[in-house]
Each structure stands twice: as structure tokens, then as C-alpha cells.
């Protein structure tokens, strides 16, 4: 009995995801098929199809896991200590200075190698 319930649950999940993908494809096809209609109306229709597909996906286990991931990600972003404006400016200036220094060193290295190559090849 348990095996049958699990199999039915998996097939229902697959069916829901298939219907959601079908709705997305149908919405995109309708958006481009009705090019004579106002763009605003077509976008609203596309958003209705995407919303319907999202509602179906969030009824599945995969959708619930995805939503939990989004919630957990937002919680983690709130924990981040963002740098101040002064720290960001100082770090940016250090990066720019180092890029310039490395660029000049590589340019000088290239000049030296070219001079050596010209000397060797005549």
C-alpha cells in the first residue's frame, strides 16, 4: 500500500510540473502569436500564465523546497555585514592602483622581451 501511495505521489508531482511547463510554453506561444494585440495586454496575459505555472509548481515538493531556499537565502543576506561607503571607496582605489602597477610592469616586461627578440633576430 505504501509503495502505491509513493508511486501515485511521484506521478502527481511529475504531472503538476508537466502542466506548469505546458502553461509556460502556452503563454510564450500566445504572447508571440497575438502580435497584433497591444503589448500591454500580451504582457499581462503572459504574467497570468507565468503566475499560474508558478502556483502549480509551488504546490509540489520541489516548489516548496525552492521557496524554502529563497526564504533561507534572504535570511542569510540579512546576516551579511556590508562594507561602508568609505571602505568600498578605499578598496576600489587600491584595486585600481594595483591594476595600473601590474599593467605598467607587464608593459615594461614586454618592451624588454621585444628588445631582446629584436637583438637576437637582427
Write down the pLDDT at residue 54. Answer: 93
> Taking a C-beta distance cutoff of 8 angstroms, is the pair 57, 63 a contact?
yes
Task: Please check the confidence at residue 122 and state whether its pLDDT lies above 70.
Answer: yes
Task: Please check the confidence at residue 8 and state whether its pLDDT lies above 80.
Answer: no
Instruction: Supply the pTM of this predicted model.
Output: 0.56
When the pLDDT of each residue in the chain is averaged and rounded to a whole number, the result is 91
Task: Please check the confidence at residue 4 and state whether its pLDDT lies above 60.
Answer: no
Domain boundaries, the chain: 2-79, 83-122
Task: Please check the confidence at residue 80 and state whether its pLDDT lies above 80.
Answer: yes
Amino acid at each position: 500500500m505504501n509503495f502505491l501511495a509513493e508511486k501515485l505521489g511521484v506521478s502527481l508531482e511529475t504531472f503538476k510540473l508537466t502542466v506548469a511547463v505546458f502553461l509556460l510554453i502556452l503563454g510564450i506561444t500566445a504572447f508571440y502569436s497575438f502580435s497584433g494585440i497591444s503589448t500591454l495586454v500580451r504582457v499581462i496575459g503572459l504574467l497570468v500564465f507565468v503566475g499560474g505555472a508558478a502556483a502549480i509548481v509551488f504546490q509540489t515538493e520541489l516548489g516548496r523546497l525552492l521557496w524554502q531556499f529563497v526564504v533561507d537565502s534572504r535570511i542569510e543576506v540579512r546576516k551579511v555585514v556590508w562594507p561602508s561607503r568609505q571602505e568600498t571607496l578605499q578598496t576600489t582605489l587600491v584595486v585600481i592602483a594595483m591594476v595600473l602597477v601590474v599593467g605598467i610592469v607587464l608593459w615594461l616586461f614586454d618592451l624588454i622581451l621585444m628588445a631582446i627578440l629584436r637583438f637576437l633576430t637582427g
